[in-house]
Amino acid sequence: MVQIDESKVAAIGDVLNNRDRPLKERFRALFTLRNIGGERALESIGRCFDDESALLKHELAYCLGQMQDVRAIPVLTKVLADVQQEAMVRHEAAEALGAIGDSSVEDTLVSYSKDPVVEVAETCEIALERVRWLKQKEALKDDNPYASVDPTPPATSKSVEELQRILMDEADTLFNRYRAMFALRNLRTEEATLALASGLKGKSALFRHEVAFVLGQLQEECSVPFLVENLRDPAENEMVRHECAEALGAIATDECTRVLNEYLKDEKRVVKESCEVALDMCEYENSPEFQYADTLVKVNDGQ
């Protein structure tokens, strides 16, 4: 955890919670708080769950999970339990509880694994398996080149062909299919990327959304046509379309920028906002900026 003056952390929290600031600025503030960590950062993030933007609230939950601080469990549990929250927000709260991995959340995850919202129920099942897996294995060997806290550990070494077979096996558990997904990601080859992209045709919206997220981490140009196809599909789940947009923002080619600009006025708010944030990421990826989460620098400069 980085030690930062509390008044500066509070100032960054004020940017995050200020609805008059552009969404892209609030996102940068959020990721700055995630990097700083600590009680004041957690409080600032937790305070923002009454926002009107489902996209922002989804990212709040994601960041709390990545921080892996047990002090975030009460607010995440409250968000998961709140049926007035959007499905993608509740799903991300459940995934964050799994990311924190504390055994105290088992009963909560068991309860909501029967939730009527399928994305929430499926997420709770995966998160519950992760918590139980961690308890059995005691420690998770970190062979993830992306430094993210993933919903499942990667599968043990198998060929791309075998991993793709598991990935696309609708009869297998989502936990095992996710393990194949992260093993393919960790290979970081074009063959593995194309195998992953085939997962954008899976039956589960939760599964397709995670495939899109992983393709964004890989930043391989060969996945762009597949991501664009799902973003363009008006019948696609908005959670999946949002993740495709953000993945295109991470890949940041000229084609990505062009397609994202097309959907800046999409009728689905979460898609429209995702394109706005993704275009900011494109700008960052194609600039000499040192870091995306730059709000501390701006606070120090009095911006």
Binding-site residues, please?
Answer: 58-59, 91-92, 209-210, 242-243
Could you tell me which of 65, 61, 58, 30 has the C-alpha nearest to residue 44?
30
Cβ-based neighbour number of residue 173 at 10 Å: 13
- Binding-site residue numbers for Fe cation are 58-59, 91-92, 209-210, 242-243
Cβ-based neighbour number of residue 248 at 10 Å: 31
On whether the CB atoms of residues 266 and 275 are closer than 8 A, the answer is: yes
HSE value, Cβ hemisphere, 13 Å, CA-based, for 73: 15
On whether the CB atoms of residues 154 and 182 are closer than 8 A, the answer is: yes
Cβ-based neighbour number of residue 11 at 10 Å: 18
Contacts of 83 (CB under 8 A, 6+ apart): 90
Q: Which two tokens stand for residue 266?
A: 């999409």
Write down how long the chain is: 303
